[in-house]
Amino acid sequence: MKKMFLQKVASLGLVSLMAAGLVTGCGNSSAGADQTKAQTAEELGFTPDASVPSWTVDKREDTTKLTWYVNADWWNTGWGDDVVTKKIKEDMNIDIEFIVGDDTTLNTCFAGGDMPDLITIFDSSSAVAQKANTWAYPLDELADAYDPYFYSVASPESMAWFTLSDGKTYGYPDYSNTAEDYESGDIFAKSAFVIRSDIYEALGQPKMQTQEEFLDVLNQIKDQYPDVIPFGFNNFETDGTSSLGDVLQDFLGVPLENSDGSFYDRNLDEDYLSWLRTLNQAYQNGCISDDSFTDDNTMWQEKISIGKYGVILMDGTPQQSGFLTTYTNDSGNSYIAVDGPKSTVGNAPTLNQSGISGWMISYITKECSDPAKAIELFSYLLSDEGQILTTYGIEGETYTVLEDGSYALTQEMKDLQVSDNDRFKKEIRLGEFIFFGHDRYKALSNDSYPDSIKQMQAWGEGKLYPHFILENTDPDDGTVEARSYSAIKTNWSTTLVSLIRSANSEEFDTVLETYKTFLADNNWDAIKEVKSEKMQANKAKLSEAN
């Protein structure tokens, strides 16, 4: 299968994934449907029971072999050679052959018609996802036919969120947080306003919430620590607005919608703009480096690891934890979270986390050679048993359960993770097999997150707020509004930098007015209407799930 698939990839060029392309590219769907009707669970040798995972009663002797395409070149394609996948293989009598690629590979897959058994993508609003009914099985139908236990481990809210217009759900996400997850305390904030601990203490533990306090502390850092960049933020390479866009807006509690439920332009919020003027003043004061606007991710992380920044508005703290740890190990100091920029109009912070759309979305294609085993695999990985395995491994071998019920990696595993992390990832693979992962399972152990960010996570308690209504509200690909919105987002990225780097308030005003004119010239009213309609659809999905 893999050889045939890759041959097609090599021989076919990039194609458009328009609706017609999807239908013709996956034109063998009727064969898959006939296969499902021909192979009932009873004919496969077991009787489905909603209270029993079907993988425990599906005792077919022959090993099932499935091909799984993951739309990411970096995905670890190993199978059966590490603790996690070896156990899955043993429990389920299943072999997985992974194929990896990028959007070009994915598009070619559909054009060639030689589909893998499973597909994982990363964009739930893409044409691939929106046309899943043409190439993937409905998960609910497979669960009804082969494994009704699936319903006891799948989130009703996540299933409802991914329901297409035909009322069926085809893909399931990882790290899909519900409102209950936000309220549980089991997921943590991933952004924080941090300051070097030695500087914080030397300056008398200063407050930095008001614009005046913020500028005063940055000026003190500039004067007393000439080798330090007073204020830093995420690089613009990874995200076009760094942590100075949505993240700063969330710190300020900028509204997600208008009072009537329509789309609210957070970029033009007056409270937010007043803080951009404050950042502009900080830049004029020499407290923001020009390099911060051009540094790539590697350079920004290197500066974290040497404590180059005095203060940082940081997003993705788990991803930066290694560099924060390096700084602590080398200097004996640390970065700590403190209360930072505060709304000038009294709004509370509304920090975001992974939303209900999650990150990876996995599907069972209509060409799947064994849809029964595939839905059993989904149920297995979603269950507590599968989640504990993929997160902590095997009890007694890689982890132990403490008296308080929490999980702890064995000392051997901790030592290996520190001394040879590459080997740990390859041979153990904990926290790596994340197709259906969820942060609530990380909350079961004190070992899930490094010490360098635990104080930051504690600081963020009570500050998370779901942004579900804003998810997947961009105009559909291929529309005039989509092209205009892409241009607007690019323009806003450069506008944001220009606003902060303005020479004076007059230039700031000019840059802002130029951006507003650009909006008017690029279908902004039509885009807002599209986004408002999609927000209402989101609210309907959330309401149905509850």
* CA 472-473-476 angle, 5° bins: 90
Confirm or reject CATH 3.40.190.10 for domain 191-352+467-545, answering yes or no. Answer: yes
The confidence score (pLDDT) of residue 546 equals 64
Tell me the C-alpha distance between 481 and 487, whole Å.
Answer: 10
Residue 488, SS3 per DSSP: helix
> Nearest 5 degrees, angle CA 6-CA 10-CA 11?
120
Q: In terms of CATH architecture, what is 2-177+358-390?
A: 3-Layer(aba) Sandwich (3.40)
Enumerate the CATH 3.40.190.10 domain ranges in the chain, comma separated.
2-177+358-390, 191-352+467-545
Q: pLDDT value at position 247?
A: 97
pLDDT of amino acid 545 = 64
96 strand-pairing partners: 66
- Taking residue 406's Cβ as centre, other Cβ atoms within 10 Å add up to 14
pTM here?
A: 0.86
Nearest to 499 by CA among 163, 274, 307: 274
Burial status of residue 10 (CB atoms within 10 A of its CB: 0-12, 13-18, 19 or more): exposed
Residue ranges of the chain whose pLDDT lies below 50: 1-38
Measure the CA–CA gap between 76 and 467, rounded to whole angstroms.
31
